[in-house]
Structure 1
Amino acid sequence: MYELMIKTHFDAAHSLRGYPGPCRNLHGHTWNVEVVVAGNELDEIDLIYDFKELKDEANDIISKFDHKHLNEIPPFDILSPTGENLAKYFFDEIKKTLPNRVFLKKINVWESPNACISYYED
């Protein structure tokens, strides 16, 4: 089994609806996003997947949130823009872009250097 990971980031603000502490107020993060894919089969040039292609696909999805207020952008105008919901959203969207021989193993969303949420499917 091969595993490949890319890391990208975006800067955005959010406020957590219903949160009892100060995070209910508008605040921002540099969100680091790690995308982990895996598979057994290499392509015709012996790659599990092209790093650049995966990063470009992830950035296409993630870039619409860069330097924005997440609470104003669908689906987070309705869903709370928590790290958990961001991770699942990125997972669902990036999964659609992958070839059949590669599967999306996990998305890690870091909202600080010390706090990460992961989403994966069994």
Structure 2
Amino acid sequence: MYELTVEAQFDAAHNLRRYNGPCESLHGHTYKVHVSYAGAELNDLGMLVDFKLLKNTLADVVGYMDHKYLNELPEFKENNPTAEHIARLIFDRMRNALGGGISKVAVWETPTACATYTD
């Protein structure tokens, strides 16, 4: 099995509803995102998928959240915009855009803490 990973980052603000602590207040992060794409077969060029395609697709997906107040996005009207929910959103959007292949998404909220979603 082959696996490729690309990285992007975006800046956004959020607050956690019903949370008893500092994250209940409006605050922001520079999120770092790692997206992995896996498959068993290489194409005739010896690539699983072009890195350019992965990077451009990820840029579009995180661009949707860049410099936004995440709580106002439709995806977070019911669910808190936690790193876990953000990872799932990115996973689903990447998989839909590429027709499969996404194996893992990790969202780093701080340099020392991340949430990962796998299928």
Report the TM-score, using the length of structure 2 for normalisation: 0.95
Structure 1 Cα separation of the partners of residues 99 and 17 of structure 2: 36
Paired residue for 1:68? 68
Q: RMSD across aligned C-alpha pairs, in angstroms?
A: 1.1
Flag as ranges the 4+ runs of structure 1 deviating above 4 A.
Answer: none
Identity, in percent, stands at 46
Alignment map for 1:1-122 (pairs within 5 Å): 1-99=1-99, 103-121=101-119
SS at match of 1:32: strand
Q: Distance in 1 between matches of 2:11 and 2:74?
A: 17
Structure number with higher helix proportion: 2
Matched letter for residue 118 of structure 2: Y
Q: Is the Cα contact below 8 Å between 1:70 and 1:77 reproduced in 2?
A: no
Q: Which moved more, 1:28-37 or 1:58-67?
A: 58-67
Once the two structures are TM-superposed, the CA of residue 99 in structure 1 deviates from its matched residue by 4.5
Quote the Cα distance in structure 1 between the aligned partners of 2:97 and 2:72: 25
Gaps of 5+ in 1: none
TM-score (norm 1): 0.93
